[in-house]
Structure 1
Amino acid sequence: MMNASLSTPLRVAIIGAGQVADCVHAAYYATRPDLQLVAVMDNRLPQAQAFAERYGITGVYQDVQQMLHDATPDIVSVCSPNRFHFEHVMAALAAGCHVMCEKPPAMTPQQAEQMRNAARKAGKVLAYDFHHRFSHDAQLLRDAVQNGVFGEIYVTTAQALRRCGVPGWGVFTNKALQGGGPLIDIGIHMLDAAMYVLGFPAVKRVTAHSFQKLGNRKNRGQFGEWDPATFTVEDALFGTLEFCNGGILRLETSFALNIREQSVLNVSFCGEKAGAMLFPAHIFADVDGELHTLAQRDETDDQRHLRSMEAFVQHVLGEPVMIADAEQGVVIQQLIAALYNAAETGECVELC
């Protein structure tokens, strides 16, 4: 970590010049006078050049090592396809940089563990952009859990569902580059949000079922067109985590599922004293058959991405703020791997 009173702006480099790098990472960094965007790397040189022009970045590269050597950044954002997260994070840590990496941490739990260990050894911050936990909604529910409002929470349901929302861009349908489909793309976000609110309870076992019924047959949806012949990921997965404390978390996630709603992105919590929905946050209890609201938020919180980035930078500057850290990244990666393993084998995966 660094002293927050530094007068020289920290040098920032970005790996991967795609949408999230543009709309989230660079967009946030550009708002801070104590940060300077100095380099961008992408193997698609025209895209990297256009990205650099938008943000006044002088260094444009197609090679990570060359960028790290020439630009000497203090901070690196890793926004490359999932397959490359491990090598790009490890290279940035080896170069002495703090790292903000897009989700998922990596392709395997073993890679996530190596990334955590490398960050520890280097004494650098490694954070992941699990931005939903930075919503005011998640914080309200997390505080309520810590204050005992719910009593024992024994059933949690996390949903990240789309009726026909296969991404028509990028590599989202390519298992070799992405690692999977909706589970590793959108389901992972609601899984992290649920685990954060619950306080990351230990998981005992995992069961799951996955399906490929629509993505390899249809070719068009709300996010454009795709080639069903190259659709190699699951289009839906349903799993259950059994916690060591006796509770369960049911996870439902899909790119394409015949549901009424166009999309569902939410988590519900059922405790012995009260229940809750996450988005927007609503804590409630039944009193003699009538629903009583204990706390709620009405407005939509669209600043969670910003707060995720801000927390990372403030942590780098030495402030003890919450981040989605490398240790929790390992846990989430282990759960994703267990869900895929259980779905593939049809067997229960024991974790403790």
Structure 2
Amino acid sequence: MKKYSVGVIGCGHIARKAHLPNIASKYRLTAVSDVSADRAEAAKNDFNAEYAFDDYKKLLALKEIDSVHICTPNYLHVPIALEALEAGKHVLVEKPLAINAEDAALVFAEAEKRGLKAMSANCYRYITESAIIKSFVDRGLLGDIYYVNVKALRRRGIPPYGAFTNKELQGGGPLIDIGVHQLDLAMYLLNNPRPLRVTGYTCAKIGNTPGHAWADRGKWDPEKYEIEDLACGFVHLEGGAVLNVETAFAANIKEDVFCVSLMGTKGGADTKPLRIYTEDQEVLLDAVPAHLSMTNIYAAEIDGFYKAVEEDSPVPVRPGETVNVLKIIDGIYRSAEEQREILLQ
């Protein structure tokens, strides 16, 4: 594979954890950019980039850059992606690719028009457990999937840093931040059925009131808390299956839960911890792995993107899949606001 020349815009936590090390180890990390010149320079030094900028437009002006990874706050994803595409760069955009489905569709349309690749970074597909369950589903071993339960719940996990509690900059709270990962995984396991209608509920009961206990992420500021701390939704899918989703940054539960559960006519499955539930000769059986090999999910995601660039093949996270997930999120937020079921177009 060609050693692609890559630029990274935004040098915060997700860039340093997921993108920069896995680009530097296999591709050419040409430039980094961040509104903080110190952060950009630190990333340049730590990951041996050639250039560091405090203005992403200077990065986009470099002709040698083939692609750009966008790791900024959510509200900047779309405008930067559109500028990058206009500059002739492929784009890998941290989730959520956009804060609504309509804006995501604009990015994909622009990429298609220019013959470039655009992809949302949804790494949960690459977790070992996800691949195993996907294989069971695709081979028909679980039968017809009729119910899916999606959970992305933290007991106390409100991010006290960055723009995470700013609704205008992030587009929402746990639903669009951590729920989007689990929703993408669920829809991927189901082979992306079209969402038809959704009912949603959101509330802020903990994040916006002082005096609550906080955990290892640190203490947040209740006066600057503009998002939900709980969101849930019920979605009807094409083909007859239904999906229930629960997400929270803060909830009075026993422990954090991140799991997609499937119920089918022949069997069921949980992603975390991995369990397969089935039956044989009138005996109920639970399958538990004796060993699971771990995958570098960020490297797998990045390599999958560049394989699509190299072969001019569809990106692993297809545009229609990303748009459908964002339609569900849009619908949950709108349903919660209008207190009615929303029909999805």
User: Shared topology, TM-score over 0.5?
Assistant: yes
Q: Which residue of 2 aligns with 1:30?
A: 24
**1:271 maps to 2:264:** yes
The two structures have a TM-score, normalised by structure 1, of 0.92
- Aligned partner of residue 258 in structure 2, secondary structure: strand
CA contact (8 A) 2:198 2:341 kept: yes
Q: Which residue of 2 aligns with 1:285?
A: 278
Q: What CA distance in whole angstroms lies between the structure 2 residues aligned with 1:23 and 1:241? A: 33
Check 1:116–1:303 CA distance in 2 against 1; reply closer, same or farther (3 A cut). Answer: same
**1:204 maps to 2:196:** yes
> 1:164-175 to 2 correspondence within 5 Å?
164-175=156-167
> 1:339-350 to 2 correspondence within 5 Å?
339-350=332-343
- Alignment equivalent of 2:149, drawn from 147, 157, 161: 157
Q: What CA distance in whole angstroms lies between the structure 2 residues aligned with 1:61 and 1:322? A: 29
How much has 1:281 moved relative to structure 2?
3.0
Letter in 2 for 1:136: T
Q: Which residue of 2 aligns with 1:112?
A: 104
Q: Which residue of 1 aligns with 2:134?
A: 142
- Alignment equivalent of 2:303, drawn from 310, 313, 316: 310
Q: Which residue of 2 aligns with 1:74?
A: 66
Q: Which moved more, 1:304-313 or 1:62-71?
A: 62-71
Q: Which moved more, 1:194-203 or 1:296-305?
A: 296-305
- Aligned partner of residue 62 in structure 2, secondary structure: helix
- Aligned partner of residue 52 in structure 1, secondary structure: helix
Q: What CA distance in whole angstroms lies between the structure 1 residues aligned with 2:88 and 2:47? A: 24
Q: What CA distance in whole angstroms lies between the structure 1 residues aligned with 2:77 and 2:34? A: 13
Letter in 2 for 1:335: I
> 1:208-223 to 2 correspondence within 5 Å?
208-217=200-209, 218=212, 220-223=214-217
Check 1:125–1:52 CA distance in 2 against 1; reply closer, same or farther (3 A cut). Answer: same
Q: What CA distance in whole angstroms lies between the structure 1 residues aligned with 2:157 and 2:247? A: 11
Check 1:182–1:191 CA distance in 2 against 1; reply closer, same or farther (3 A cut). Answer: same
Q: Which residue of 1 aligns with 2:117?
A: 125
How much has 1:311 moved relative to structure 2?
0.9
Q: Which residue of 2 aligns with 1:301?
A: 294
How much has 1:289 moved relative to structure 2?
7.3
Question: Which deviations, in whole Å up to 9, do the C-alpha atoms of 1:242-278 show, x marking residues without a partner?
Answer: 11222110000000000011x1000111111111111
The two structures have a TM-score, normalised by structure 2, of 0.94
Q: What CA distance in whole angstroms lies between the structure 1 residues aligned with 2:143 and 2:224? A: 47
Q: What CA distance in whole angstroms lies between the structure 2 residues aligned with 1:344 and 1:230? A: 20
- Aligned partner of residue 61 in structure 2, secondary structure: helix
How much has 1:74 moved relative to structure 2?
0.3
CA contact (8 A) 1:156 1:270 kept: yes
| Equivalent pairs, count | 343
How much has 1:294 moved relative to structure 2?
5.2
**1:326 maps to 2:306:** no
Q: What CA distance in whole angstroms lies between the structure 2 residues aligned with 1:297 and 1:138? A: 16
CA contact (8 A) 1:137 1:279 kept: yes
**1:242 maps to 2:231:** no
How much has 1:282 moved relative to structure 2?
2.3
Letter in 1 for 2:161: W
Unpaired stretches in structure 1, ≥5 consecutive residues = none
Letter in 2 for 1:46: D
Q: Which residue of 2 aligns with 1:179?
A: 171
CA contact (8 A) 2:69 2:93 kept: yes
Question: Which deviations, in whole Å up to 9, do the C-alpha atoms of 1:212-243 show, x marking residues without a partner?
Answer: 00011237333111100000000001111111
Q: Which moved more, 1:138-147 or 1:35-44?
A: 138-147
Letter in 2 for 1:129: A
How much has 1:320 moved relative to structure 2?
4.9
CA contact (8 A) 1:59 1:71 kept: no
CA contact (8 A) 2:126 2:295 kept: no
